Chains A and B, each alone.
Chain A
């Protein structure tokens, strides 16, 4: 098992603060058009559909895997990375946590990391459907 690449300390910069406020409370905040209701990734700036203003909105946190990659550092650490499709439609880039067998369409759920230092952030874990007993 190779070591995971260190994520480091994340600081807010005044522009995406509601995203980090949400992450601190285990909520995935992303962007949504106030005019037409269309959903966008957290770093989106415009609604190309209707030119409306984007506001922060809470997404369900459910997602599906679109594609994935494993970055390798020169010192041998790895970072499991992904492009995911939020249940609301937009794609976002993220880090996978404990996904053993990635495949297109794999159900995922945002899970939140709360480091001692710096901001909280989401990672994506496999979502196992609760089929009851």
Chain B
């Protein structure tokens, strides 16, 4: 066994894609990923399913795909950190001989025709019930509020500004302009960011991710097998998870640091690289602030200096650390952890077209779930591990 690789990538239409259930979208993504790898669906002997907001495709997806005699079938969930966790579980299973070709899939369809994106993740009612109802009644009606509180804490403690968060939105949009799959490709200036409406202060509309329907799947095999398949192998070098378990009480670091501080160093250690050797980052960007705090946690800049780092132009096209080269979840498509993972595969293969990063030897991928509660990191490369 010489390690594992991502051998296939399948993506449905993403965005305002109506009329297909999460299970149907997931099935379409798996079929597309298998075809991309040059495999028949019946060649799969493992399937890992991840759910979004609108119900899981379920492990019943295996039957929908007509899969037989699977050696691995399970549902996984650590919210936005799931994609990275699925790939690492598939890789570990393959390395230990438990399966040979594992599809990992995420699909979701929270958007409905004639409803706003915000409505998909928002609570509204005339009467509220109990303590959780009280919280919503007071105004805690979407996840935006909790990220706004975390971002504000970082701003107060370190002097991070809205303009610095805006620099992340602007850099991400600049990358999206090179991605034909991106939902938002109009040019964006810092002024556009500053003038976009407040969602929850200190977060403007352009600090927040999109909402998308669709499905994305990857196929993980041994590196050996991937070499004989249709696409350039994307070798899996290392992975890690971090679940900080921030207590909501005096002394908590909530908002100032995340599980990335644990998972990043673990994944880079397994991969045998340091931050200085990372060429491209695909960072989970549910909000601009999430990118900023994750870069700090990984050690690409010192704690509290993420704002200045972003404002320096480092993250955009032509910058020293290309981040979210496909436009991320802020500007391209919101497929939870599959957004950074899919772009990492594209970049590692050198298939980024107009947006291809100048170097792609080491690509770092992150996933973030809950309110900064769960984190996963993956390091991938076009080269077999140890043979760069």
Contacts and interface: CB of A to CB of B under 8 A. Distances in A.
Contact of B198 (A10, A70, A123): A70
Contacts of A48: 247
B74 interface: no
What bracket does the count of chain A residues touching chain B fall in? 35 or more
A16 B137 CA distance: 15
A69 B152 contact: yes
Given A8-B137, A70-B200, A13 B156 contact: no
A42 interface: yes
Given A16-B131, A41-B248, A89-B249, A9 B152 contact: no
B317 interface: no
A81 B129 CA distance: 19
B252 A91 contact: yes
By DSSP majority rule, is chain B's interface helix, strand, loop, or mixed?
mixed
B141 interface: yes
B340 interface: no
Contact of A67 (B132, B138, B144, B152): B152
Contacts of A90: 248-250
Interface stretch (B78-86, B120-128, B300-308): B120-128
Nearest to A80: B139
B139 A81 contact: yes
Contact of A81 (B130, B138, B199, B249): B138
A8 B248 contact: no
Contacts of B152: 67-69
Contacts of B133: 10-11, 13
B138 A11 contact: no
A121 B128 CA distance: 12
A9 B134 CA distance: 9
Interface string B280-292: 0000000000000
Contacts of A74: 116, 118
A12 interface: yes
B127 A43 contact: no
Contacts of A41: 248
Interface of B: 116, 118, 125-135, 137-141, 144-145, 148-150, 152-153, 156-157, 197-203, 247-250, 252, 255
Given A10-B127, A81-B149, 20 more contacts: A10-B129, A13-B133, A40-B249, A66-B149, A68-B149, A69-B202, A70-B201, A71-B144, A71-B200, A72-B197, A72-B201, A79-B138, A83-B153, A89-B249, A90-B249, A90-B250, A93-B138, A93-B140, A95-B139, A104-B153
Interface of A: 5, 7-16, 19, 40-43, 48, 66-72, 74, 79-83, 85, 89-95, 103-104, 118-119, 121, 123
30 contacts: A7-B138, A8-B126, A9-B128, A10-B129, A10-B134, A11-B127, A12-B129, A12-B130, A13-B129, A15-B130, A15-B131, A19-B131, A42-B131, A48-B247, A67-B156, A68-B149, A69-B148, A71-B141, A71-B148, A71-B200, A72-B201, A81-B140, A81-B149, A83-B153, A91-B248, A92-B248, A95-B138, A103-B156, A104-B153, A104-B156
